[in-house]
Structure 1
Amino acid sequence: MSLYFSIVMPAYNEEECIEQVVTMWTSFLNNTFPGKETKLIVVNDGSKDRTKVLLDAIAPKIDNLLVVHQPNGGHGNAVVNGYKKAAELNSEWVFQTDSDDQFVTEDVIKLWEKRNDSNFVMGYRQIRYDAPARLVITRILKYTIFFAYGTFINDANIPFRLIKGSFLKKLLAQLPNPEPFAPNIFLAVMAKKAGQNTFDIPITHKERLTGTVSILRWKLLKVCIQSFKELLRFRLDLNGKVKLIKAA
């Protein structure tokens, strides 16, 4: 099986909006790519609410929906497993977003228009509706990446990115082992260092109206320190991995 376009979407405890979000994104695929093979790949990351039940109920009714259930491994792990599934299905293009209904489908076209100019195109949240602590950490992360790698990326961990399927396979092969907490950051850094223009296109970010943020306060600080340490360690391996990506 080969797909023209797939969307990777991790989900955790999103019972209040998951049906609406799935309908919105599968309709986007049908309307934007009529006649093409497309798929929304939702990775349920061990949700403790009714997310699993709701996904299983709607999956048989939506042809271009693929639901994958896994034990809770965290957002990053769910994203990577979604990417691997998209690669397994030979997706020509892979888009990644979240299931919390904070993005709009129309903005995908802004990235899609750049697909012939780059294998890795990203949005960035010009106006971001998140807790102040998250905003501060995002800014620190941006400058950490710049000083550590000499690479400036506006929103390195944004769940709004379009990747050429063949290029994604190369990136996944070079992800650090063990898997980092925030793999999307590492994918963005490797893509940029491999010569891709990420464009960093401003997109709409909406206020979260349902569910709860899973990482807050001290836990947020803890995982950010972990991510910073992983990024600093990755400096030693980056040049070699970029060479392999280019060679592949």
Structure 2
Amino acid sequence: MSILLSIVMPAYNEEECIELVVEQWTGMLDRQFPADNTRLIVINDGSKDRTGEILDQIKGKYPKLFVVHQKNGGHGNAVVNGYRQAVALDSEYVFQTDSDDQFVTDDFMKLWAKRHDSPFILGYRQVRHDAGARLIITRILQYSIATIYGTFISDSNIPFRLIKGSFLKKLLAQLPDPEPFAPNIFLAVMAKKAGCNLFDIPIVHKERQTGTVSILKWKLLKVCMQSFRELARFRLDLNRKVKAIRQPEPVTTL
């Protein structure tokens, strides 16, 4: 049976809110797509707390929930693993969000309403409730992308994005090797340069009520510099990769 929509959600040390977030997003799927086959794919990224245990305990309670456990590889690695799981399920659409309960499920429909207008759609945290250092680094990334690639993306790394499954498969095939620290940025850049209208739809971003942010202060600056270097190197291959993404899908005959 084909999958209309898969939601990809990385999770790391979110024992305080993971069941609530699963309930919220599976509830949204039940309300908006009662007759369709949908999935919530949660990638437990080697959590050190009870996140993985809780996910295993509640699987039977939420039939749409699909849990994958992996060794800790970081947020970006967990996201890509989730994307690959969704593509393997032949999902028509793939949506990605985070497990920290900072987003509102109702905002999903703003992106869903545009699904026929673009194969790659982003939300945009117009009012962002994060630490000041993260806001500054987001601004640095905005201008880095504008400088390196000649294009402006409001929130290139946002974990609130809707992608057509067949287009995501093409994007994943063009990710640089080794896998970048923040692959969502590279996917957004490739989609933009391939001519997609990303829309940058304003969405609600709530203050974090539970857990802790895993990347702070000097580590955050180090990550920013790493991402800048990766983006600069990727510039050399971008035209070739965009050309591959723009290739029409092969027509299969029965």
Aligned partner of residue 69 in structure 1, secondary structure:
strand
CA distance in 1 between counterparts of 2:188 and 2:18 reads 27
Aligned partner of residue 57 in structure 1, secondary structure:
helix
Deviations 1:28-79 (A, max 9, x none): 0111111100000000000000001100000122110000000000000000
| Coordinate RMSD, CA, aligned | 0.6
Aligned partner of residue 236 in structure 2, secondary structure:
helix
CA distance in 2 between counterparts of 1:33 and 1:164 reads 17
The aligned amino acid for 1:60 is G
CA distance in 2 between counterparts of 1:49 and 1:11 reads 11
* Gaps in structure 2 of 5+ consecutive residues: 249-254
CA distance in 2 between counterparts of 1:62 and 1:94 reads 19
The aligned amino acid for 2:72 is N
Aligned partner of residue 123 in structure 1, secondary structure:
strand
Deviations 1:209-244 (A, max 9, x none): 000000011111111110000000000000000000
CA distance in 2 between counterparts of 1:156 and 1:51 reads 27
Aligned partner of residue 211 in structure 2, secondary structure:
coil
Q: How does 1:1-248 map to 2 (within 5 A)?
A: 1-248=1-248
| Percent identity over paired residues | 73
- Measure how far apart 1:2 and its partner are: 2.1
Deviations 1:131-181 (A, max 9, x none): 000000000100100110011100000000000000000000000000000
The aligned amino acid for 1:108 is F
Aligned partner of residue 10 in structure 2, secondary structure:
strand
* Gaps in structure 1 of 5+ consecutive residues: none
Instruction: Please report the TM-score for the alignment, with normalisation by the length of structure 1.
Output: 0.99
How many residues of Structure 1 are paired with residues of Structure 2 in the alignment? 248
Q: Which 4+ runs in 1 deviate beyond 4 A?
A: none
